[in-house]
């Protein structure tokens, strides 16, 4: 071991001696490490052992030097121990003596404590007895208070007993029993006060009739006083009773209806009962019981029976008085209590009663048939209505009852006059009316507004054009109108309705009875009678103008405008029917002449004179026009001529074109030409030369058949000039019948003509000659459209699976014809079969016959295309189109037929478009139909092209306007009674070509049927809830349910893209806090604060707040923070206008209204405050447009604009 290591070990030991408590051996580590590194462990151990022996020697020397002192210390400790034992014995003895003394003191203390406990128990017993006696005394006093009808004191005593005294004695059984009996005692108090209330209700019911009688008598007095004032001041004529002006002028005559010399109603039992129930916390129970009792009393009043059969109206008046008295009492209760009987509850009761009252009165009127009694009833009802209206009740239903009475009165008048009408018309001779004296002439002129006619002889006797029925009817109608307006006197408010009823009744009288009787006479075969009816109808038509003037003079002075009777047009229409009837009679006679015609179309010679029947017919027409139809206007005569000759010409055309005529030759055509020339000559001699045009088609037939160049018909210009009325089918028919003589016997020119005719027929029948070529160049175009009269589907057995008739030209039995002619006849191979004028087009598919039937010259290709298109539609819906599919889906097939055929004309047959309209599930494709059916409420969406493809704009723009109307009704307590938003999304599309737009709304848009999120709040779902939405029919909704996007091809210009409504989570743009205090009867103080709830970055424009004021407001002082405010007397409101209103700002109006010194019988009803406003870039529903994308094949750039605007709908705040 080196000297260095030894030195370090010594230092370590020395350090350890100084810090042995800390066991500082940190220096040992490096030493040991050095020993191991140098492999000197044995040397180190030897040195360490030497060090230990050295220290042990030092310890032994130290112990030997201190041994004597240790012995002395031990001796001293032994002596101290002996002294301690002696001291312990003395303490034990002392403790024994103390214990003996304490036992005596403890015994005395126990005796004292027992004595004091007994004394305390005696004191508590005395106190408890006094408390119990006091409790029992209070319980006994409650019964005495109830007997003395001091119900409130009894309740207060019971409450004091329960909350104070019984709590101190609750540990006793009697107290517990007494506490349990308190509700019973409270119930006894309630029963006692309820009994008293029932007695009061019975008394009120007994005097209600008297109250109503007094109220109606007072209204009659007010009416009389007002009539006198109106007579003194005509300017007040338009002011009704109970108006503010009348109330002010009647103030000095105020009368207490329920407290006067005749009747006195003490409302103390009601107020007391209300107070007791309120103290018991059963105010709602009392309100409910009172409501039920009053409803029962109202039903008792309504159960009264009365009759008007014998003309006695006392029972009727008593009934009205009971109703008035009942609701006058209700009015007093409403305005003398608070939070008990609301106006709404009384109005509901009134609404339930009013319908029954109207029904009772209406039924009783059925027994009355006396017009005078109806007048008395009307005046009683008028007083009844005004009395109730004066107390603020809604009397619109009774107003309608007045009109019903008026209508019944008018019905009686109409029935009475109708009997006279029928009597007059029954005995009318339908001949011109003879006049024998000037007095008779003057009477007729006064009765029927007749004006002098220069065509009538001036001497006497003379004959007037109309028959006797006309002036008699006019005289009765005048009387009818006069009595009509007599009934309406007294109520200026009903004048407008009376005017309307008068006009309507008079119209009905003229249309249903006068015009109806004349119309029934048109079935006559007597042409003279029909002519006279036409003349009478002309005068009745003119009389309508005079009646309009009469009604205008009778109508109320404040109404303007024209009066137009519908009867005038009805008389004109009936006159046309009469003219048509004359046409029928004349044409029938012409048909009789035509039956005498015996044309030989292949004669051997040409006749020189026209057919004999034509002479007779012309003589007949001339005689009828000059005699029977002499009094008719010339225009009608000309029409009769034209119609008769047109009918004759048409009959002659049909005659030569008839299938019964097999052959015609040149001689037959020449004979026809003689007849046509005769008829044209006769027509040209008539007063209108255009009548000869009736034979134009007949003349063209003759000209073509006599032409040497029949091929000119194929030339469009020539055909339009010479043969414009000849159809190709008629030309083919005529040329086929042409057979002058055998071909070998013909002259060369005749042979050329025949071959030309055959060439024309081949051309017309060939496919190269289109109908459009025939139409080319014509001035009048005839458009032939494919029209299907019936549609059938048969199976291979001939059973009808589907049957639909679209027109009346076929009967359902036509289905049997096809079965017999086609299905049962295996030889038939043609898809078209024509039987007479009926054509059957059929298509075979699998085991089905699809048949279309038509009676017109339809386009066969279009009919077949429609049939095949229907098969494809069936496949799209059912998967396949066979007998089984048809039977399983016959209802759906009928729906499809109704959609693709409209009155026989094919409509839209695009499958995708039909699936938008018809979403009925088929048997084999339920899943496909469900996918096509949208969950959205849609009215009509489709894939229809709404725009032309050639639209071009220099600048392509699309504008979206989201416009919302907010409706609000806020209660007086600040709760929202109604809050909803009606919105629409308007789009203006100025886009070129046919673009497809994609439009996206909020990601989280909940519709009415999306119930999965209805339970979550808006904060959690951040969703906009829409109750209903409707889209434009151009919209496709394929992805709307998944991501709230729609696609559409927009119409050009402006259109409504979407309409929606929401009632949930409405963000109100404004909050209104009104404070309105009535100070006595002379002043009303206002303080209205309006706060904007939208962002401060937004501004509302055109904000208008209307604050109602009492009717008797005399002056108003107003102060506003912003905007302008003024009082508008005509509206009884303060109008506060702010042109701009910053978001999150608050504005206040304060003011004071001074009222006129009058005693207002009915309290101010406080109509709600209303608001108008417009807020841009804000939506109350939270609806937002996410994007608008435009795709077009030319890939042009478009500019899109989106604007939001919220405006006020019905925005009202009650106060």
Q: Verify that 847 and 764 share a domain, yes or no.
A: no
Same domain? For 696 and 795 the reply is no
Contact in structure between 936 and 1058 (CB atoms under 8 Å): no
Q: Are 371 and 409 in contact (CB under 8 A)?
A: yes
pLDDT of residue 772: 44
Higher pLDDT, 491 or 101: 101
218/367 same-domain check: yes
Residue-wise pLDDT tens digits, 637-665: 777 777 888 888 888 888 888 888 888 88
Assigned domain for 382 exists: yes
Q: Is residue 10 part of a domain?
A: yes
Separation CA 524–CA 537 (nearest Å) = 16
pLDDT tens for each residue of 1037-1056: 777 777 778 888 888 888 89
What does the chain come to in residues?
A: 1215
* Residue 162 included in any domain: no
- Average pLDDT, rounded, for the chain: 78
Total count of domains within the chain: 6
Among 932, 964, 996, the domain-final residue is 932
Residue 703 included in any domain: yes
Query: Which structural domain, as residue segments, surrounds residue 443?
Result: 410-578
Res 926 pLDDT > 60: no
Per DSSP, 414 falls in state H
- Residues 517-571: pLDDT tens digits? 788 888 877 777 888 888 888 888 888 888 888 887 776 544 555 678 888 888 8
Q: Which of 991, 889, 1009 shows the shortest CA–CA distance to 949?
A: 991
Residues 1175-1180: what's their mean pLDDT?
Answer: 91
Residue 544 lies inside a defined structural domain of this protein: yes
Say if CB 714 and CB 763 are below 8 A apart. Answer: yes
Judgement on whether residues 389 and 527 belong to the same structural domain of the protein = no
Residues 6+ apart with CB under 8 A from 426: none
Same domain, 766 and 804: no
Rounded Cα distance between 1003 and 1024, Å, is: 9
Euclidean distance between the first and the last CA atom of the chain, given in angstroms as a whole number? 112
719, 741, 775 - which closes a domain = 775
CA nearest 632: which of 511, 533, 508?
A: 533
In 10 A of CB 394, how many CB atoms? 13
> Does one domain contain both 364 and 414?
no
Contact 846, 878 (CB under 8 A): no
**Is it the case that residue 962 has pLDDT exceeding 90?**
yes
Residues 374 and 489 in one domain: no
Does 586 map to a domain?
A: no
Given pLDDT bands bounded at 50, 70 and 90, which one contains residue 1141? Answer: very high
Q: Which pLDDT tens digit goes with each residue over 47-84?
A: 888 888 888 888 777 777 766 676 777 777 777 777 78
pLDDT at residue number 1092: 94
- Over residues 345-367, the mean pLDDT reads 83
Over the range 241-276, which residues count as b (16 or more CB within 10 Å of their CB) and which as e?
Answer: bbebebbebbeeeeeebbeeeebebebebbebbbbb
In this model, does residue 1160 exceed pLDDT 50? no
Closest CA relative to residue 1196, chosen from 959, 998, 991:
991
Q: What is the mean pLDDT of residues 1118-1128?
A: 90
Q: What pLDDT is attached to residue 793?
A: 93
CB atoms inside a 10 Å sphere around CB 747: 10
How many Cβ atoms from other residues are within 10 Å of residue 794's Cβ? Answer: 24
pLDDT at 1171 over 90: yes
Same domain, 229 and 326: yes
The string of pLDDT tens digits covering residues 272-326 is: 888 888 877 888 888 888 888 888 888 888 887 777 766 667 788 888 888 888 8
Task: Kindly state the helix (H) or strand (E) to which residue 1141 belongs, with its residue range.
Answer: strand 1133-1142
Residue 1005 has a CB neighbour count (10 Å cut-off) of: 21
Task: Name the more confident of 159 and 984.
Answer: 984
Q: Please report the pLDDT score of residue 942 as a whole number.
A: 37
For the chain, what is the total number of helices (H) and then of strands (E)? 36, 28
Mean pLDDT of 1161-1166: 70
> What pLDDT does 25 receive?
57
Share of the chain above pLDDT 70, in %: 83
Dump pLDDT digits (tens) for 236-278: 655 666 666 666 666 556 677 788 888 888 888 888 888 888 8
Residues 502, 468 share a domain: yes
Residue 481, number of CB atoms within 10 A of its CB? 18
In a domain? residue 327? yes
Structure tokens that stand for 88 in this block: 């312990």
Examine the pLDDT at 486 and tell me if it is beyond 50. yes
What's the rounded Cα separation, in Å, for the pair 1134 and 1111? 12
pLDDT at 969: 87
CATH number at residue 721: 1.20.58
Q: Are residues 492 and 615 in the same domain?
A: no
What's the pLDDT at 560?
53
Average pLDDT over residues 403-428: 76
Q: Are 432 and 631 in contact (CB under 8 A)?
A: yes
Residues 259 and 385 in one domain: yes
Together in a domain, 831 and 905: yes
744: confidence class by pLDDT, cuts 50, 70, 90: low
Flag whether pLDDT at 442 surpasses 70: yes
Q: Is the pLDDT of residue 134 over 80?
A: no
pLDDT at 937 exceeding the cut of 50: no
**Distance between CA atoms of 280 and 89, rounded to whole angstroms?**
81
Distance CA 912, CA 934 (A): 14
Classify 75 in phi/psi space as left (phi over 0), alpha (psi -120 to 50) or beta.
alpha
- pLDDT score for 490: 57
- The CATH number of whichever domain residue 477 belongs to comes to 1.10.357.30
**pLDDT value for 1165:** 78
Residue 1026 lies in a domain: no
CATH number at residue 1169: 2.60.40.1170
Identify which has the larger pLDDT, 850 or 920: 850
């Amino acid at each position: 071991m080196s000297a260095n290591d030894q030195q370090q070990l010594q230092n370590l030991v020395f350090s350890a001696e100084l810090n042995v408590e800390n066991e500082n051996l940190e220096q040992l580590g490096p030493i040991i490490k050095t020993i191991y590194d140098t492999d000197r462990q044995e040397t180190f151990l030897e040195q360490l052992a030497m060090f230990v022996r050295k220290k042990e020697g030092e310890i032994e020397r130290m112990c030997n030097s201190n041994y004597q002192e240790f012995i002395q210390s031990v001796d001293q400790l032994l002596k101290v121990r002996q002294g301690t034992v002696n001291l312990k014995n003395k303490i034990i003895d002392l403790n024994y003596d103390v214990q003996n003394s304490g036992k005596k003191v403890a015994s005395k203390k126990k005796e004292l404590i027992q004595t004091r406990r007994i004394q305390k128990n005696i004191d508590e017993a005395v106190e408890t007895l006094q408390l119990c006696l006091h409790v029992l005394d209070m319980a006994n006093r409650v019964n005495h208070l109830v007997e003395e009808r001091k119900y409130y004191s009894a309740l207060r005593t019971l409450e004091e007993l329960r909350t104070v005294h019984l709590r101190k004695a609750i540990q006793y059984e009697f107290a517990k029993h007494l506490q349990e009996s308190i509700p019973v005692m409270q119930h006894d108090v309630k029963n006692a006060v309820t009994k008293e209330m029932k007695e009061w209700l019975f008394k009120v019911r007994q005097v209600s009739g008297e109250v109503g009688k007094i109220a109606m008598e007072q209204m009659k007095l007010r009416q009389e006083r007002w009539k006198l004032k109106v007579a003194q001041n005509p300017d007040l004529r338009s002011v009704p009773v109970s108006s503010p002006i009348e109330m002010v002028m009647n103030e000095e005559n105020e009368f207490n209806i329920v407290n006067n010399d005749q009747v006195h109603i003490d409302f103390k039992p009601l107020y007391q009962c209300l107070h007791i129930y309120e103290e018991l916390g059963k105010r709602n129970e009392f309100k409910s019981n009172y409501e039920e009792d009053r409803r029962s009393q109202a039903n008792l009043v309504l159960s009264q029976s009365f009759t008007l059969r014998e003309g006695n109206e006392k029972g009727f008046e008593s009934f009205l008085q009971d109703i008035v008295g009942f609701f006058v009492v209700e009015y007093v209760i409403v305005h003398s209590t608070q939070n008990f009987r609301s106006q709404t509850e009384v109005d509901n009761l009134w609404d339930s009663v009013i319908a029954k009252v109207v029904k009772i009165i209406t039924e009783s009127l059925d027994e009355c048939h006396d017009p005078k009694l109806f007048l008395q009833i009307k005046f009683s009802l008028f007083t009844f209505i005004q009395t109730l209206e004066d107390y603020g009740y809604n009397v619109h239903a009774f107003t309608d009852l007045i009109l019903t009475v008026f209508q019944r009165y008018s019905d009686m008048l109409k029935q009475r006059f109708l009997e006279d009408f029928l009597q007059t018309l029954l005995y009318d001779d339908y001949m011109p009316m003879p006049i024998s004296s000037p007095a008779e002439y003057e009477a007729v002129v006064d009765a029927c507004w007749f004006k002098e006619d220069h065509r009538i002889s001036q001497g006497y006797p003379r004959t007037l054009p109309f028959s006797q029925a006309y002036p008699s009817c006019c005289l009765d109608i005048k009387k009818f109108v006069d009595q009509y307006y007599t009934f309406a006197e007294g109520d200026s408010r009903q004048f407008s309705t009376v005017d309307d009823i008068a006009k309507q009744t008079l119209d009905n009288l003229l249309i249903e009875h006068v015009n109806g009787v004349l119309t029934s006479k048109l079935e006559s075969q007597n042409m003279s009678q029909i002519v006279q009816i036409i003349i009478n109808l002309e005068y009745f038509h003119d009389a309508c103008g005079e009646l309009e003037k009469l009604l205008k003079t009778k109508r109320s002075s404040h109404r303007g405008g024209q009066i137009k009777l519908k009867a005038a047009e009805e008389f004109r229409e009936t006159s046309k029917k009469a003219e048509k009837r004359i046409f029928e009679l004349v044409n029938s006679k012409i048909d009789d002449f035509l039956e005498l015609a015996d044309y030989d179309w292949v004669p051997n010679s040409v006749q020189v004179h026209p057919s004999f029947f034509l002479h007779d017919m012309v003589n007949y027409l001339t005689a009828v026009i000059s005699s029977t139809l002499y009094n008719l206007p010339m225009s009608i005569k000309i029409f009769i001529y034209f119609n008769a000759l047109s009918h004759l010409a048409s009959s002659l055309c049909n005659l030569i074109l008839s299938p019964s005529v097999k052959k015609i030759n040149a001689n037959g055509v020449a004979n026809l030409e003689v007849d046509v020339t005769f008829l044209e000559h006769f027509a040209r001699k008539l007063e209108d030369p255009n009548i000869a045009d009736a034979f134009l088609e007949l003349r063209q037939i003759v000209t073509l058949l006599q032409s040497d160049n029949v091929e000119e018909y194929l030339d469009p210009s020539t055909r339009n000039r010479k043969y414009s009325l000849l159809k190709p089918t008629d030309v083919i028919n005529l040329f086929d019948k042409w057979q002058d003589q055998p071909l070998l016997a013909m002259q060369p020119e005749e042979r050329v003509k025949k071959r030309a005719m055959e060439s024309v027929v081949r051309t017309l029948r060939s496919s190269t000659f289109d109908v459009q070529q025939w139409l080319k160049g014509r001035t009048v175009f005839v458009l032939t459209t494919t029209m299907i009269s019936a549609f059938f589907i048969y199976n291979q057995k001939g059973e009808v699976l589907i049957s639909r008739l679209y027109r009346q030209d076929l009967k359902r039995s036509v289905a049997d014809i096809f079965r017999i002619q086609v299905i049962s006849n295996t030889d038939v191979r043609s898809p078209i079969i024509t039987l007479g004028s009926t054509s059957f087009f059929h298509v075979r598919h699998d085991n089905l016959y699809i048949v279309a039937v038509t009676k017109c010259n339809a386009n066969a290709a279009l009919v077949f295309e429609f049939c095949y298109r229907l098969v494809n539609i069936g496949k799209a819906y059912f998967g396949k189109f066979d007998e089984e599919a048809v039977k399983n889906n016959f209802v759906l097939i009928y729906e499809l037929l109704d959609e693709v055929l409209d009155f026989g004309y094919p409509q839209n047959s695009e499958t995708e478009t039909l699936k938008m309209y018809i979403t009925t599930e088929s048997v084999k494709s339920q899943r496909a139909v469900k996918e096509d059916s949208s969950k959205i409420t849609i009215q009509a969406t489709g894939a229809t092209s709404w725009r032309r493809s050639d639209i071009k704009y220099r600048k392509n723009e699309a504008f979206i306007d989201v416009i919302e109307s907010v409706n609000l009704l806020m209660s007086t307590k600040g709760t929202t009674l109604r809050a909803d938003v009606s919105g629409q999304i308007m789009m203006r599309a100025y886009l070129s070509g046919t673009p497809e737009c994609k439009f996206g709304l909020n990601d989280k848009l909940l519709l009415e049927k999306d119930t999965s999120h209805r339970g979550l709040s808006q904060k959690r779902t951040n969703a906009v809830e829409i109750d209903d939405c409707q889209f434009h029919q151009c919209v496709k909704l394929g992805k709307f349910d998944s991501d709230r996007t729609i696609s559409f091809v927009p119409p050009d210009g402006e259109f409504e893209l979407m309409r929606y409504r929401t009632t949930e989570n409405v963000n109100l743009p404004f909050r209104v806090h009104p404070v309105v205090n009535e100070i006595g009867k002379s002043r009303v103080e206002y303080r209205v604060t309006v706060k904007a709830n939208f962002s401060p970055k937004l501004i509302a424009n055109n904000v208008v707040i209307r604050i109602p004021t009492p009717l008797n407001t005399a002056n108003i002082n107003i102060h506003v923070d912003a905007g302008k405010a003024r009082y508008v007397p005509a509206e009884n409101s303060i109008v506060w206008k702010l042109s701009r209103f910053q978001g999150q700002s608050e504005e206040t109006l304060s003011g004071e209204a001074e009222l006129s010194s009058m005693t207002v019988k009915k309290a101010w009803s406080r109509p709600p405050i209303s608001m108008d406003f417009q807020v841009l870039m804000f939506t109350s529903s939270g609806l937002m447009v996410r994007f608008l994308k435009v795709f077009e094949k030319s890939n042009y750039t478009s500019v899109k604009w989106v604007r939001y605007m919220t405006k006020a709908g019905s925005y009202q705040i009650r106060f």
